[in-house]
Amino acid sequence: MTRVIDADAHVLEGASFFGQALKRWPDRIRVGGGPVPGIQVDGNRYPETEGPGAGCPPAHAVVEGAGDNPATPEGVLSDAGREGIDRMVLFPSFGLGVPTFRDLGFGAEIAGFYNEWLLDWMGDQRDRLFGVAVVPIEDAKASIQLMTRARELGHVCTAIPPALRERNLDHPDLDDFYAAAADLDMPLGVHGAPGVHLPKIGVDRFTNYIQVHCISFPFDQMTAMTALVSGGVFERHPKLRVAFLESGVGWIAYFLDRMHEHYEKRGDWLENGWKREPVEYLQRGQIYATCEAAEPMLGATVDQLGADFIMYASDYPHWDSEFPESSKPLRERDDIDDAARAAILGGTAARLFGIA
């Protein structure tokens, strides 16, 4: 029987996290602020539900199919059982905004707290639940220390934003961080999120969350891939592995082809950039992506690029998850063979994250 690994589910930090955080940092974190309930950090709401790049109102954030309490590990695993998921890799929700904190010392403190809290929250379920660490990526030195500690704790990935406030992911200041990730065999997961004050990539024209959501995820991932591939990050760090998340997989064949044209015709304009065809970074195991189980282009993507970089993800318990049937189309579709299905449902994630 195929083992199913959810490569991008989410923790709802909830009272367990915020109760401790509010006590630890009463002058930095508070509840409320504005017409929509939420968390405020140094005056910024998380999520910010109004204005350019608006995020999802908290009251509408959770999928209706989540039958048990998704803020507890027991509830998460009960729901996973309904879906037929054996293992879950847990990305943050609020924690995705940690790289945006202006006070980098505070960012490092709360990142370290989150990574330790997540370990405690998973408790004795760490054979089925696997944590993703957060780091204050604007401070590369602190991020290396926190990522190293997260690896010691058993976390299987480190989340990074698609871009920094004023720098892209190919900035040389990040090279030591990438080298450390490669040395630790720690995959990086590029994960955007509207409304948590990450750089606004193409969404500054929109204030309606649905429009923002439609644009932000794929634009974020394309921005990140452009930096990592054409900016030479994968070339300088050949053991670095990066997952591009929550945008489906159909865009990757198109975008690799688009980058191929620029590499072929004007690749030498980037002196410290790519040194080989963009698709070669995927072929040598540096590029991974999650898919939507029912997306029409999945079969064509497998035909063109193979299945060994593609991973199933539910996005549980966020509103756009198809839970409790998020994996059903993938289990039943007839445009991929059984070997590809097994790789996508669990084999690729097991290899990337080192999950037994």
Strands 44-46 and 39-41: antiparallel
Residue 153: give the domain boundaries: 5-13+60-353
48 found inside a domain = no
In a domain, 286, yes or no: yes
In-domain check, residue 26: no
Whether residue 43 is contained in a domain is answered as no
Which residue in 191, 235, 184 sits closest to 354, CA to CA?
A: 184
**Is 115 within a domain?**
yes
Residue 248 lies in a domain: yes
Query: 21 in a domain, yes or no?
Result: no
Q: What is the pLDDT of residue 42?
A: 87
**Tens place of pLDDT per residue across the chain (356 aa):** 679 999 999 999 988 999 999 999 999 998 875 555 579 998 899 999 999 999 999 889 998 877 778 889 999 999 999 999 999 999 999 999 999 999 999 999 999 999 999 999 999 999 999 999 999 999 999 999 999 999 999 999 999 999 999 999 999 999 999 999 999 999 999 999 999 999 999 999 999 999 999 999 999 999 999 999 999 999 999 999 999 999 999 999 999 999 999 999 999 999 999 999 999 999 999 999 999 999 999 999 999 999 999 999 999 999 999 999 999 999 999 999 999 999 999 999 999 999 98
Q: How many domains does the chain have?
A: 1
Q: What pLDDT shows up at residue 246?
A: 96
What angle do the packed helices 175-184 and 140-153 form, to 10 degrees? 10
Which of 73, 158, 76, 80 shows the shortest CA–CA distance to 121?
73
Q: Strands 129-133 and 87-91, how do they pair?
A: parallel
Strands (DSSP E) contained in 104-177 are 129-133, 157-160
Which residues of the chain form beta strands (DSSP E)?
A: 5-10, 29-31, 39-41, 44-46, 87-91, 129-133, 157-160, 188-190, 242-244, 287-291, 310-312
CATH code at 256?
3.20.20.140
C-alpha distances out from residue 78 to 66, 83, 119, 155, 349, Å: 10, 9, 19, 22, 21
Distance CA 96, CA 101 (A): 11
